[in-house]
Amino acid sequence: MKVLVDTSIWSLSLRRDSKKNLDYKTELSELIKEVRVQIIGPIRQEILSGIKSTKQFNDLKKYLSYFPDMEIITKDYEQAAIFFNTCRSKGIQGSNTDFLICSIAVNNDLEIFTNDKDFQNYQKYLPIKLYSPRFIKGV
């Protein structure tokens, strides 16, 4: 199954160093080797936002260019709004991008790879599938 990789995972894998982040990098690397990684434009924008160095920005932009954006269609935006309203009615807040990720994942039968705990809350009310990492202990 293909996996929609959230900004938090890309960020941990590409921008920061530590032992725990190495596990995320390994997991993402394996998914890339298996040709299972999916990305959308809003995630690409979040990854590239806030990078101060032009060289680092351009290097990261070039690296990400190997992963084409999935097409986002009207149905995805409409479903995202339904998901937003569903969760809000249950007292759960989230960003428009998070609900768009949920919508695209559901509409394309994708798992979501994230370490953002908000998605566990969304999963209580939305038919999303969260990716279970193989190489990360304690997740």
Higher per-residue confidence, 22 vs 130: 130
**Rounded distance between C-alpha atoms, residue 139 and residue 133, angstroms:** 7
pLDDT at 139 over 60: no
pLDDT band, very low/low/confident/very high, at 134 (cuts 50, 70, 90): confident
Spatial separation of the C-alpha atoms in residues 96 and 84, rounded to whole Å: 7
What's the rounded Cα separation, in Å, for the pair 19 and 91?
35
pLDDT digits (tens, 9 = 90+) for 61-102: 999 999 999 999 999 999 999 999 999 999 999 999 999 999
- How many domains does the chain divide into? 1
Domain span including residue 75: 3-130
Q: CA-to-CA distance for 128 and 107, rounded, in angstroms? A: 10
Q: Does some domain include residue 138?
A: no
Q: State pLDDT tens for residues 23-69.
A: 888 899 999 999 999 999 999 999 999 899 999 999 999 999 999 99
Whether the model pTM is above 0.75: yes
Q: What's the CATH code of the domain at 119?
A: 3.40.50.1010
Amino acid at 14: L
Task: Supply 135's token pair.
Answer: 């190489």
